[in-house]
Amino acid sequence: MIDFTKDSEYIRLFGKKEGEMLNFKGVNIVLDKIMRGADASINIGIKLISLAIVLQIVFGHSVPFLGGNVIGTIIGIIYELGAAGLVGLIATIIIWRLLDDDIRKELSE
């Protein structure tokens, strides 16, 4: 149980003393955790997709646990983006930038 009668515990948890205006230290901490979790999930997803592509290249369409044609699905997505014209090009650039920033940040660490 947390004793809120001690100022130090209250400041540690909420970043302010009792009676002060609310600052967003606690909100920033929660948002930071959510963003780190989302980044980790995206990294895991990219690695799993990469593994699925390699397995499908090596073993063909007969990889039992993939559950579908991964390469065909990716080719279909690229085809749809290409068929969308300018909107598809803009979406491709946005996706590329998001992934490129994550990869550069991961490589620099």
- Per-residue confidence (pLDDT) for residue 35, from 0 to 100: 85
- Per-residue confidence (pLDDT) for residue 93, from 0 to 100: 83
DSSP 8-state class, residue 66: T
Domain ranges of the chain: 1-63, 69-109
- Per-residue confidence (pLDDT) for residue 7, from 0 to 100: 54
- What is the pTM for the complete model shown? 0.57
Helix 25-59 with 70-83: angle, nearest 10 deg: 110
- Per-residue confidence (pLDDT) for residue 2, from 0 to 100: 52
pLDDT in tens, the chain (109 residues): 555 555 555 556 655 555 554 556 667 777 888 888 888 888 888 888 888 888 888 888 777 777 788 888 888 888 888 888 888 888 888 888 877 776 677 677 6
- Per-residue confidence (pLDDT) for residue 66, from 0 to 100: 76
Kindly report the CA angle at 47 between 37 and 90, in degrees rounded to 5? 80
